[in-house]
Amino acid sequence: MTPTRSDTVTLGEKGLNVPLSRGDAYFNYYWLRDNDPTSFNAETRERSFDIFHLDTAPVARAAHVDGETLVIDWATEDHTTRMPVAWLEEHAGGERRRDPADLPRRPWFGDHYPDVARFTHAELKADPGKRRAWLEAMIVEGVSVVTEMPDSDAALTELAELQGQVRPTFFGTYFDVRTHINPTNTAYTASALELHTDVPAEEHAPGIQFLHMRANTVEGGRNLFGDGVAAANDFRRIDPEGFRLMVETDVPFYCEHDDYDMRSWQRIIELDQYGEVSGLTISQHMLDLMDLPQAFLDDWYPAFCRFGKLLQDDKYIMRFTLKAGECIVFDNHRIVHGRAAYTASSGDRYLRGCYTDRAEMRSTYRALVSTGRFKS
């Protein structure tokens, strides 16, 4: 097709050029037809137009700018598209649609505990502004403490559902951490629990963890929490080759007992779409048989140990005692956590936990802070 000009819009074979404030911008015909405002149902906010039903590729017969609107008459169907020029300005560059939940992570270190974001259970339930601040802290720092938790199972459910839906794992919908006569997990003993992320053996480990301390009168058992982002960022700087091995190598994790045998392959250090460290998957007591070439392990294992030792450095680890009535909420793909040993006969220690997903947390945050694509 020979390009023609209609008013100030230039038509081509596969798309058109529209004059915008930054200069002429090209838009594909399929994209324009698929994103016609009339292609969406205002109530469901979903696309109701099915581009698969077009008999031929969309081509404009004519197009022009009418004030602040691009008007397109289609040659291939009896339809006219009207699109706001301001909306085209916003999407002319082909960049990802802006995500209000795409906030930069703020690394923290072992002295951070006094500054951890804190909210009461009641205010999070009652105040959307507090809920927004809570979710923002979770996205940016990956950890928060909720205080004045009622001593009930329902309180934990209420808190988790302020972010999303409680997400079951093969351990169940909830888990109770106390000493067990026949433990199936190190957490169910009074022994020390090394720094780790939870449930690495699941193909998609849950993203957000809630630990509600219901009773804690034992001697010992201090909580250990560290920011995997801070440690991995430093590891990248001081040991680039070790960092590369942790980022690029899929390693096996497992969790098995009488009635389950869960296995997965994960990366120790995880990167986001920008190449920045987004978190970790690490658990020494659930690392499976490293069935990788032995010569490769000559390099991988020393790098793994160097990173593990760095992660345990006092520089990165907060040490504190979670009190009864407090719930620590944290990003299970970013924050490593553990526990010092305690004396089981010295008192009572009971912690109830559950998980939600990071995607649902970010969804809730977006709904609180933005108008979305179709809200008025």
Q: How far apart are CA 169 and CA 202, in angstroms?
A: 8
Cβ(340)–Cβ(220) under 8 Å? Answer: yes
Q: What is the pLDDT of residue 177?
A: 86
**pLDDT for 1:** 47
> Is residue 353 within 8 Å of residue 211, measured between CB atoms?
yes
pLDDT at 182: 44
The predicted pLDDT at position 188 comes to 52
Confidence (pLDDT) at 334 = 97
Q: How far apart are the first and last CA of the chain?
A: 40
pLDDT, residue 206, reads: 94
- Beta-strand pair 219-220/208-216: unpaired
pLDDT tens for each residue of 257-289 = 888 899 999 999 999 999 999 999 999 989 999
Model confidence, pTM: 0.88
Cα 110-205-348 angle, rounded to 5 deg: 60
Q: Which pLDDT tens digits describe the chain residue by residue (376 residues)? A: 444 434 589 999 999 999 998 899 999 999 999 999 999 998 888 999 999 999 999 999 999 999 999 999 999 899 999 999 999 998 998 888 889 999 999 999 999 999 999 999 999 999 999 999 999 999 999 999 999 999 999 999 999 999 999 999 988 999 998 764 344 445 555 565 789 999 999 999 999 999 999 999 988 889 999 999 999 999 999 999 999 999 999 999 999 988 889 999 999 999 999 999 999 999 998 999 999 999 999 999 999 999 999 999 999 999 999 999 999 999 999 999 998 887 888 888 899 999 999 999 999 999 999 877 765 4
pLDDT at 180: 45
Q: Quick one: pLDDT at residue 99?
A: 92
- Three-class HEC string of the chain: CCCEEECCEEECCCEEEEEECCEEEEEEHHHHHHCCHHHECCCCCCECCCHHHCCCCCCEEEEEEECCEEEEEECCCCCEEEEEHHHHHHHCCCCCCCCCCCCCCCCCCCCCHHHCEEEEHHHHHHCHHHHHHHHHHHHHCCEEEEECCCCCHHHHHHHHCCCCCCCCECCECCEEECCCCCCCCHHHCCCCEEEECCCCCCCCCCCEEEEEEEEECCEECCEEEEEHHHHHHHHHHHCHHHHHHHHHCEEEEEEEECCEEEEEEEECEEECCCCCEEEECCEHHHECCCCCCHHHHHHHHHHHHHHHHHHCCCCCEEEECCCCCCEEEEECCCEEEEECCEEHHHCCEEEEEEEECHHHHHHHHHHHHCCCCCCC
Q: What is the pLDDT of residue 186?
A: 52
- Bridge partners, 335 (sequence order): 227
Task: Check: CB of residue 64 under 8 Å from CB of residue 7.
Answer: yes
**For residue 278, what pLDDT is reported?**
96
Which pLDDT does position 6 carry in this prediction?
43
Output phi, psi for 253, to 5 deg. -125, 155
